[in-house]
Amino acid sequence: MIKFFRKIRQNLLSENKFSKYLIYAIGEILLVIIGILIAVSINGWNEDRKLKNAEQSILKDLKQEMIINLKALEFAIEENEKSFQTAIEMRALFRDRAAFDKMSDSMFYTSFRKLNWNVTYDPQNGILNSIISSGQINQLSNKELKYLLASLKELTTDAIENTRKIEAQRDDLIKSAWTDAMIIKDGKNLGLNMKSIYEHPEFRWATSHLFYFQRKDGLKEEKELRATLENIIELINENINK
């Protein structure tokens, strides 16, 4: 092909057809430029395709991790809701001695156990941490998704803060009430006077401050985190194979 074009140029010059040669030369230059532009476009298209494939792989991995975390969070919310509802019932009993007196020991024990439940959300963030630390998060094209993922760690820390506070304080408070309820005679433990816990000041404090107020704030933040995870999954679905 090169020899063919060279022969055309030589013929035009030998025949003194300078104007035609000039037009031909310009045309040849344009062909070279077009060829370069096509090559650049193909190379750019290949790079875009590679980036798109990488983004799709990241999105699919993230989706699986977010779904697992959402299920774990929903479980924590469900269990902590039970504790919160029991705290509401127990606070009502504190104001209604007659209703408490009608309760059996077994019913009070069941309420005591439900009140003491405290499930801490423990997410799997291996994939998220990896794409943030490696800079792969910048390969995501959706700005809102990138922002939510970048802020997810902070939102999660806020959401689990209250359950961690409850975990840190409840054992000592409940242990104190439990110990005082033990029936000890001649150095022997004869069982529990379960309903005596009702009057215990530390049990009442734990019920109101930990399992009601602290739990109420914690559930609010856990539900906000759940909404964020749901939003992230929705955005991922919108951008998979888009």
pTM, two decimal places: 0.76
Look at residue 24 and tell me whether its pLDDT is greater than 80. no
pLDDT at 147 over 90: yes
What average pLDDT does the chain have?
82
DSSP 8-state code for residue 189: E
Count structural domains, the chain.
Answer: 1
Burial 142-175 (b: 16+ CB within 10 A, else e): beebbebbeebeeebeebbebbeebeeebeebbe
Does residue 149 or residue 42 have the better pLDDT?
Answer: 149
123: part of which helix (H) or strand (E)? none
Least reliable range by pLDDT among 22-26, 32-36, 82-86, 200-204: 22-26
DSSP H/E element including 164: helix 143-181
Q: Domain range holding 13?
A: 2-239
As a whole number of angstroms, the distance between CA 111 and CA 95 comes to: 16
- Residue range 117-145: mean pLDDT, rounded: 90
- Check residues 164 and 43 and name the one with the higher pLDDT: 164
Which range, 2-11, 14-23, 41-50, 190-199, has the best average confidence (pLDDT)? 190-199
Instruction: Please write the tens of the pLDDT for every residue from 162-215.
Output: 999 999 888 887 777 777 777 767 666 666 677 888 888 889 999 999 999 999
Determine which of 14-18, 73-77, 118-122, 157-161 has the lowest per-residue pLDDT on average: 14-18
Average pLDDT, integer, range 130-136? 89
Report pLDDT digits (tens) over 54-102: 788 889 999 999 999 999 999 999 999 999 999 999 999 999 999 999 9
Mean pLDDT of the region 230-242: 89
